[in-house]
Structure 1
């Protein structure tokens, strides 16, 4: 059980480090925009490594997230 707590703590610590670095490097608005990719990346990772099947709704959600990010970047809706 101690190993599990260690891995969870390390995972949270690493995530927070990269989150803070991203805010400093590209700004809070763009960082919050890209955080929407986390579920998409998790879904694709589960599909690749765990042989999970993707439902049409999951694919539609991933397409919606990616389309939203692309539109936001193209339309310059991310003012700092």
Structure 2
């Protein structure tokens, strides 16, 4: 873990051609994850952010903490 050069190999095995099924699977995974991120942001994050109708310093500390905690889970799922 501290010395990744120990597992470096000059003769890394390679396939002779491009595996189209592998590329298609990875592209499908990217599309599914992007659509999931879009849905999560539309359902959870944007409604919370739309409630900010004035600057944050005009809200009480408890209101700011509550909004921060409500954004914690979607932020963790979207950026995790």
Q: Taking structure 1 as the reference length, what is the TM-score of the superposition?
A: 0.38
* Structure with the greater alpha carbon radius of gyration: 2
Q: Taking structure 2 as the reference length, what is the TM-score of the superposition?
A: 0.38
Task: Looking at secondary structure, tell me which structure has more helix per residue.
Answer: 1
